[in-house]
Amino acid sequence: MTHTRRRREFLSNFSRERNARRGEANPVLDFSGESLRVRFAPSPTGKLHLGSARTALLNWLVVRREGGKFVLRLEDTDVVRSSPEFEQDIIDSLKWMGIDWDEGPDIGGPFAPYRQSERMDLYREQVSRLLEEGKAYRCFCSPDELEERKRKVVAQGKPWRYDRKCLEIPQEESERLAASKPFAIRFRVPEGKVVVKDLLRGEVVVDSSEIADFIILRSDGRAGFNMAVVVDDITMKVNLVIRGDDHLTNAVRHAMLFEALDSAPPLFLHHSLLLGKDGAKLSKRHAATAVSDYRERGYLSSALANYLSLLSWSPGDDREIFTMEELVSEFNLKRLSASRAIFDIDKLNWINRQHMKKLSNDSLAGLVRPFIEKAGEKELQKIPPEKFELAVESVREKIETLSEAVEQLLIYTKKPDEITDKALEELRKTSDLDEVFDICLEALRENPGSSRDVAERIVKGLREEAKARGWGAKKILWVLRLGITGHVIGPDLIYLIMFWGSEGCAERMEAKRRIHELH
RNA sequence: GCCCCCAUCGUCUAGUGGCCUAGGAUACCGGCCUUUCAAGCCGGAGACAUGGAUUCAAAUUCCGUUGGGGGCACCA
């Protein structure tokens, strides 16, 4: 595991260097008195993706653990694909997950605005500066021309990279042409090796000849992504950039831009990407990808965050279930792994179950209720609160998500005489059916009420009755279940009796016996 | 194609040269429990990609190979 070694060496060098300067110790990160500033910068071109949520969570955990500020910045320069609805989804989803920010488009902050679309002048200013300093140049090649030249090069089997045609244009001519011809501005990539300091991967060295002169200002006057990001990270004083692996090569461009703008680059951490079962970047063809999808499906936010945190990270012991608070105190960058992470819904389901287990019946019932309303189950909504809580308690062990509770609870809305074919069949093949029915009804009538005691007494009594007759307990209890619910599966008998009361259960059994002629 | 990143059970991971006949979790299979479905408990199967090198000793260090991923846009 090369990465482990490199990361640890780098981390220890990093802290040693800093600590020596300050003369004090900090276990992981130390910015020489500057406070930590991290950012999460999604582009509102879709709902908050699980992978982005993981990035946001990583940033949040680090900053809440180490102290510092968390900045939310919207990278909405793509006017066509960006939309306010997606922006809202991102904000709602982050909040739902328990991720909060100290500065952002909704709450402002000392470096506002926090939407790139509102910062264009700032970018143009810096682009002009680069242009004046000869670190950038105008490119008059039209998209069609570029396409044409690219096609020719590719046809010869050579890799295409911008050919610097416009770099040859003399300064005066460039300025003259600028008045009459549309142009974009490209960054003039300097020669030499570029080093990206990455907390996870050590120092990544790339020769700048690998990088083409990229666009920093489009011909329509909008700044390019790389330029906007760098100007923002400088002006917002971001000193740690945690983002996906897919930006590692961009980091090389960014490092060059920081240098060109006379700014120290932040420290980077490029985490591995979230992948689907087949190993490709997680996308809709693998599973639902939006955080809001999981919210709607009845996952607990704490479970989703817990699961996401466990990809590429472990506490170093066998513990796996953490609340958000526990994650903040346990999370440590030193234990983050650089290897890939495949999304596994089974594990998420299990973790969700573990989180639901920790909830009281009362809280769980409260969380289930909205799912019933959304499902439009009127009958379930009519159940009075105490009964509802009881009903939820009776199904909680059976469900993996909150929404699954709805279908499980439906058993409590069945009419007294309703029965499934399967249940009828089971009853009809029971020997001494009439007698067993009578035994059940008698036990129910002799113990009126709906308390747990009553329910337990009834079931216990029926067990003894079966034993006395030399039957298995199943012979009687199976009929009791089918008689009360009309279904072959369902909650524990104790709960059924408590829910309907022994009188109610007796009525339900009689209704079925009469209407379906069970003898 | 070029550049970069990654590589332990199907999946998530523990593992920093001897505690490793590789540990845990999940999923899977079997058993127990049991009125059903679950849950729970017990057990089983299941991995160091590969070839070299260093070393008394390598999952762990180094090099090559293979495989996977990402990037190479007037997208972000």
Q: What percentage of chain A reaches a pLDDT higher than 70?
A: 94
CA distance A391 to A409: 7
**A61-CA/B2-C1' distance, Å:** 37
Query: Closest nucleotide to A76's CA, by C1' atom?
Result: B76
CA distance A443 to A197: 76
Residue of A95, A284, A347, A422 marked catalytic: A284
CA distance A420 to A412: 14
Q: Identify the residue whose Cα has the smallest distance to the C1' of B1.
A: A159
- Bases of chain B within 7 A of a CB of the protein: 1-8, 10-16, 23-27, 34-39, 60-63, 68-76
**A318-CA/B43-C1' distance, Å:** 21
At residue A32 the predicted structure's pLDDT band, cuts being 50, 70 and 90, is low
Task: Dump pLDDT digits (tens) for A384-429.
Answer: 999 999 999 999 999 999 999 999 999 999 999 999 999 999 999 9
pLDDT, averaged across chain A: 92
The predicted pLDDT at position A78 comes to 86
- Its pTM stands at 0.92
**In 3D, which of A319, A317, A314 has the Cα closest to residue A334?**
A314
CA distance A348 to A434: 47
Q: Token pair 């109610």 is at which residue?
A: A504
Q: Is the pLDDT of residue A282 over 70?
A: yes
What is the pLDDT averaged over residues A6-34? 46
The predicted pLDDT at position A21 comes to 25
The predicted pLDDT at position A471 comes to 92
CA distance A23 to A10: 19
**A496-CA/B41-C1' distance, Å:** 26
**A512-CA/B47-C1' distance, Å:** 56
The predicted pLDDT at position A230 comes to 98
Q: Are A198 and A271 in contact (CB under 8 A)?
A: no
The predicted pLDDT at position A303 comes to 98
Query: Closest nucleotide to A4's CA, by C1' atom?
Result: B16
Task: Dump pLDDT digits (tens) for A353-380.
Answer: 999 999 999 999 999 999 999 999 999 9
**A157-CA/B1-C1' distance, Å:** 8
At residue A30 the predicted structure's pLDDT band, cuts being 50, 70 and 90, is low
* Triad A367, A372, A378: Cα angle to 5°: 145
CA distance A31 to A50: 30
Q: Identify the residue whose Cα has the smallest distance to the C1' of B14.
A: A316
Q: Is the pLDDT of residue A3 over 70?
A: no
Query: Closest nucleotide to A42's CA, by C1' atom?
Result: B76
**A317-CA/B29-C1' distance, Å:** 27
Task: Dump pLDDT digits (tens) for A459-507.
Answer: 999 999 999 999 999 999 999 999 999 999 999 999 999 999 999 999 9
Check the CA dihedral A145-A151-A154-A156 and report its sign.
negative
Buried b (16+ CB within 10 A) or exposed e, A320-355: eebebeebbebbbbeebbbeebebeeeebbbbbbbb
What is the pLDDT averaged over residues A50-63? 97
Query: Closest nucleotide to A229's CA, by C1' atom?
Result: B76
Q: Are A32 and A21 in contact (CB under 8 A)?
A: yes
Structure tokens at A495: 């709960």
The predicted pLDDT at position A158 comes to 82
A289 — phi, psi (to 5°)?
-110, -15
Structure tokens at A430: 């029971």
Q: Identify the residue whose Cα has the smallest distance to the C1' of B12.
A: A311
C-alpha A101: how far from chain center: 16
**A191-CA/B63-C1' distance, Å:** 29
Decide if A284 is catalytic: yes
Q: Identify the residue whose Cα has the smallest distance to the C1' of B3.
A: A210
At residue A190 the predicted structure's pLDDT band, cuts being 50, 70 and 90, is very high
At residue A33 the predicted structure's pLDDT band, cuts being 50, 70 and 90, is low
Task: Dump pLDDT digits (tens) for A112-170.
Answer: 999 999 999 999 999 999 999 999 999 999 999 999 898 888 888 788 899 999 999 99
At residue A23 the predicted structure's pLDDT band, cuts being 50, 70 and 90, is very low
Query: Closest nucleotide to A275's CA, by C1' atom?
Result: B69
The predicted pLDDT at position A157 comes to 79
Residues near A345 by Cβ (< 8 Å), separated by ≥ 6? Answer: A287
A267 — phi, psi (to 5°)?
-85, 145
At residue A16 the predicted structure's pLDDT band, cuts being 50, 70 and 90, is very low
Q: Are A302 and A98 in contact (CB under 8 A)?
A: yes
Q: Is the pLDDT of residue A18 over 50?
A: no
Distances, alpha carbon A109 to alpha carbons A65, A72, A94, A501, in Å: 21, 10, 18, 59
Q: Is the pLDDT of residue A15 over 50?
A: no
Task: Dump pLDDT digits (tens) for A307-338.
Answer: 999 999 999 999 999 999 999 999 999 999 99
Q: Identify the residue whose Cα has the smallest distance to the C1' of B6.
A: A339
